[in-house]
A = this chain, B = another copy of it.
Amino acid sequence: MLSTTERTRLNRAKHKARTDRADLYDVLDHGLLCHLAVVVDGTPLALPTCHARIGDTLYLHGSTGARSLRQGSEVCVTVTVPDGLVLARSAVHHSFNHRSAMVLGTPRVVEDGDERLDALRAIVDHLVPGRWDQVRAPSKQDLAKTRVLALPLDEASVKVRTGGPNDEPEDALLPVWAGELPLTLTVGEPRQDPARQVDVPLPEHVARLAGRTW
C-alpha cells in the first residue's frame, strides 16, 4: 500500500487515486520517460529525463555538471502515460485518459560502485530490455562523468483516468459524438546508424521491439 501524506493526497478527482503499490510500479515501469521537478536558483524546472525502478527505489542519472542533480534538494519525479483523448459532449469535460505517478523526496547521490552499475543497467534495460548485456559497459571515464541519484518510493501518488467522458446529466441527449480516442506510443522500424563502420545484423533484442506499443 502507498501511505497517503498531506502532499500526495488528491484534493480533487479523488476517485482517480490509486493506493496499491502495484499501480505505482506499473506506471513507473511502463512510462519510458519522466519529468524531474526541481528548484534551481529559486526557479522550479520540469526536466525530461529517463528513470528506472529497482524494488522500492527509483533511479535517475545525468551529467555530474547538471545543476538539477545536486545533492540535498527536494524533487518530484512524475511519470505520465497518455492512454487516450476523452471527447465529451460539452467543452469543459474533455479530458485525457492517462496513468501518472508522482514520487516526492530528497534523492541520495549513489556512491557505491555496484549500486551505480545496477542503476545504469536498469535505466538502459528499461528503454530496451536486454540491451545492457550487448553493449560496452561503462568505463572509469564514463562513470566519472555520470551522477546517479536514488529516490526511495516512500512518498508517492498515482492517478489513473480511464473510460468515457463524465458529462453533465443534462447533456446526455445532445447530438454530439462522445467517447475516447485511444493513444499508444508505438515503436517503428529500426534504423541502423548511418555512420556505422561495420555492418551488424539486427539482433533479436532490438527486432522484438519493432511495432511494440506502450
Contact = CB atoms under 8 A, between A and B. Distances in A.
Given A46-B76, A102-B46, A197 B184 contact: no
A183 B187 CA distance: 5
A165 interface: yes
Contacts of A185: 82, 183-186
Contacts of A179: 190-193, 196
A192 B206 contact: no
Q: Say how many copies of this protein the assembly contains.
A: 2
A15 interface: no
Contacts of A137: 90-91
A85 B124 CA distance: 10
A74 to B, nearest CB: 6
A112 interface: no
A60 interface: no
Interface string A54-81: 0000000001011100000011111010
B200 A131 contact: no
A196 B177 CA distance: 9
Nearest to A198: B173
Nearest to A38: B44
Contacts of A139: 90
A31 B11 CA distance: 27
A193 B178 contact: yes
A182 B145 CA distance: 27
Contacts of A121: 91
A63 B124 CA distance: 38
Contacts of A89: 135-136
